[in-house]
Structure formats: C-alpha cells, structure tokens
C-alpha cells in the first residue's frame, strides 16, 4: 500500500519535473528537512527547525558555501512514520535535494533512512539515538550519542548517585527509542548487581497509566525508569504521584520539552533525565548560541534546537570540504567529520557514522531542569 503510494508520488513528481522543467538553480545547494512540526511531538520538530534555520541564515548571511547559497526545504511529517517516508520521497524526487536533515524520533528516522540510502542521498539525524538508525547504511549519519551509552549513563546515575538497588521500567512498546533505551538501562543495571522488580509498557497516545503504576507501586522500586517522550511522561509523573508513588522517575533525552512541565507540573520535582547539553554551561560557545537563539525566538533553546543547529553546522563544514557537490562526495566529507566544534560538544563521527560525545544529567525542580553532571563516554 505504502510502496504503491510512493510509486504514484514518484510518477507525479516526474511528470511535474518534465512539464515545468526542473527548478534547479546551480547557485544553490538544496537541503531537505523532515520533522514533526505538528502532532504529539511537535516541539521536537519545531525546535529542530528553529535551530537549523538559525544556522542556515548565519551561513547564507556570511556569503554561503564556496559562493553558493543554502536552500532549505522543510516538510512536516506529523510525527507519523508513513508520512515521514512520503515527505522524504518528495524531498528527493520532487525537490531534488542533495542531502537530508532529520528526524528526531528514532522510529521516524528508521522509516525514512532506507529511502535516503536507496537513493544515495546522505541523511544526517540531529538527534535519533537508537543504534539501528545508522545501521541502515553508509549514507546515514547522526551528530548525537547513541542509546547504549545513554542507558548506561542513567543506570550508573541511579546506582551511584541515587544509591538505587532496585528499579522498575515503564516503556513505550511501539517506539524503537523507548524499547532500546529501556533494554540498555536494564542490561547495565543488572550487570552492576541491581534488580529490575517490574517491567511495564504502554503505547504512545495512552492517557491512563494507573494499572502499570499500581503494579510498580506494589514492587516498591528505588527508582522508576521511564524512557518515553514528554507527552506521556508528564502524565505518568502526575498519575504516579496521585497513586502515592514518591520515588524519583528517571528518563532520557525524550523528556526534553517545555511542554513536559506544562503537563507534569510539580509531579516532576526531584526527577532526572539525560540530555545532550545544558543551557547553563559557562562555555562561551554555548552562551553565545543561547543568546542568539533567544534574540531570534524569544526562548531558551532546548537540546533539539541545539542539535538541529549543530547538524547544519556539521553539514556546512562537510560541504565546504567536499571534493565536489555530488552526493557521493558530500557523503564522504560528512563521514570524515573530526573534532567539529559544536554547541553540544566536539563532534567526531566514528566508523558506524555515530558521534561519540558526553551526556549531561539534569534535575527537575520547579518546572526547570538544572545541570547536575557531565558523563564522558
């Protein structure tokens, strides 16, 4: 069904290109972006888009790349994997982009990466952390760390900093990100001598988590690991407190959204999550970025805005260094990224096309996440 739709789309776009002539300007570099600008993870897509656009404006304002202007075409995938496949096909066949930025959510990157790979169009995910994403093929990259590391960071934090011996898990069974991160946390926790007393699940979009939380409450865990996205996590925190569960909830980067606090409020106080950067960092590069972003958008950049900015930065550096602007040469130049100074840290891509970078742990108090510690890989 989906394949047939893509085939029709292909024909329609071929027809359009034929009849109207390709709208290719040789003085432009065509970059595609896909993300959840609407839907249940809308802050993921909009923050990333803000970060990417800030970078594009700066680069074009400074004269572009080797005399060429960056032309960004961004589409909304509504947080839906089928739609992600559709819009990425459109970027490649209709807009003839030379490189693609996106997605945030690992399941959406996994839906579209095979299309980029088959068409040999390089794709850089700013923030998908599931290991499977870059395993799709040699045209798929990311500028963030991966979940085996993130799971280890939060497991070690639970055991060493919070002195937890037992943990419960509450995971989203339809999300590659949530399932993977839960597994990596569990593996590390057990290896270090901890016990998982309950492993519960839900499906994105659920609004009632009371039966899972009642089960967890009965097992009296020291901490509860909830590697989900902000919408469900906010509700889970509230319902946990309503049921009298007082222990800290822990999570990963999927918590990072201003909407988390709107939904969860005071129920989140004393909870922790791992992320890619802290706006509190005194690093001048971070402070300079926070100031620029705030001036343009009137808010403090979250991790996604920052990773969006860095993904465009890594791409711009690669475009500058590429032997030519053929997709293969762009691919090779991205793969060669070493010690790029990003806002989220120094970015080097390893043989698996993943970035190896530190993580930060943040603590929530009064609807604000504050820096606790940095963990190096």
Contact set with ligand PHE (CB under 6 A): 44, 104-106, 127-130, 177, 253-254, 256, 303-304
Q: Cα(273)–Cα(373) distance, rounded to whole angstroms? A: 11
Least distance in angstroms from the C-beta of 346 to ligand PHE: 18
Distances from the Cα of 175 to the Cαs of 129, 167, 179, 352, 372, in angstroms?
12, 21, 6, 22, 28
Least distance in angstroms from the C-beta of 149 to ligand PHE: 12
Which is closer to ligand PHE, CB of 224 or CB of 303? 303
Q: Which two structure tokens, joined as six digits, stand for 7? A: 């085939």
Which is closer to ligand PHE, CB of 149 or CB of 333? 149
Which is closer to ligand PHE, CB of 304 or CB of 317? 304
Distances from the Cα of 193 to the Cαs of 159, 166, 186, in angstroms?
9, 9, 11
**Cβ partners under 8 Å of residue 49, min gap 6:** 33, 35, 37, 74, 308
Which is closer to ligand PHE, CB of 247 or CB of 360? 360
Q: Cα(43)–Cα(330) distance, rounded to whole angstroms? A: 29
Least distance in angstroms from the C-beta of 30 to ligand PHE: 26
Which is closer to ligand PHE, CB of 54 or CB of 233? 233
- Neighbour tally for 58: CB within 10 Å: 14
**Residue in this structure with the two tokens 């309950």, named with its chain if needed:** 198
Report the side by side order of strands in the sheet with 123-125. 69-76, 28-35, 99-101, 123-125, 140-142
| Signed CA dihedral, 75, 321, 289, 301: sign only | positive
Which is closer to ligand PHE, CB of 96 or CB of 258? 258
Least distance in angstroms from the C-beta of 109 to ligand PHE: 7
**Cβ partners under 8 Å of residue 64, min gap 6:** 29, 70
Least distance in angstroms from the C-beta of 59 to ligand PHE: 23
The CB-nearest residue to ligand PHE is 177
Which is closer to ligand PHE, CB of 68 or CB of 132? 132
Cβ-based burial of 165 (10 A; exposed 0-12, middle 13-18, buried ≥19)? middle
């Amino acid at each position: 069904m989906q394949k047939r739709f893509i085939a029709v789309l292909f024909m329609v776009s071929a027809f359009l290109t034929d009849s109207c002539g390709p709208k290719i300007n040789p003085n432009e570099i065509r970059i595609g972006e896909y993300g959840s600008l609407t839907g249940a993870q809308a802050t993921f897509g909009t923050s990333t888009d803000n970060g990417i656009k800030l970078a594009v404006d700066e680069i074009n304002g400074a004269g572009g790349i080797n005399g060429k202007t960056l032309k960004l075409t961004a589409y909304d995938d509504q947080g839906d994997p089928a739609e992600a496949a559709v819009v990425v096909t459109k970027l490649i066949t209709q807009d003839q982009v030379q490189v693609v930025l996106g997605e945030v959510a690992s399941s959406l990157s996994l839906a579209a990466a095979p299309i980029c790979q088959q068409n040999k169009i390089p794709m850089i995910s700013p923030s998908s952390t599931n290991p499977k994403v870059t395993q799709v093929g040699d045209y798929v990259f990311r500028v963030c760390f991966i979940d085996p590391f993130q799971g280890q960071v939060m497991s070690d934090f639970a055991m060493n900093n919070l002195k937890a011996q037992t943990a419960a898990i509450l995971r989203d069974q339809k999300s590659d990100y949530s399932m993977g991160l839960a597994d990596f946390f569990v593996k590390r926790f057990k290896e270090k001598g901890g016990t998982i007393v309950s492993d519960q699940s839900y499906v994105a979009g659920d609004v009632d988590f009371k039966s899972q939380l009642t089960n967890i409450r009965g097992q009296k865990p020291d901490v509860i690991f909830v590697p989900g996205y902000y919408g469900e996590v906010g509700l889970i925190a509230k319902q946990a407190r309503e049921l009298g569960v007082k222990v800290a909830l822990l999570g990963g980067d999927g918590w990072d959204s201003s909407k988390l606090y709107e939904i969860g409020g005071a129920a989140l106080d004393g909870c922790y999550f791992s992320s890619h950067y802290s706006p509190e960092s005194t690093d001048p590069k971070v402070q300079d970025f926070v100031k620029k972003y705030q001036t343009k958008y009137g808010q403090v950049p979250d991790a996604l805005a920052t990773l969006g900015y860095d993904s465009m930065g890594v791409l711009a550096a690669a475009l500058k260094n590429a032997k030519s602007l053929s997709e293969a040469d762009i691919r090779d130049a991205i793969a060669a990224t070493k010690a790029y100074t990003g806002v989220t840290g120094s970015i080097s891509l390893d043989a698996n096309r993943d970035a190896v970078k530190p993580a930060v742990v943040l603590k929530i108090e009064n609807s604000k996440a504050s820096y606790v510690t940095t963990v190096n890989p």
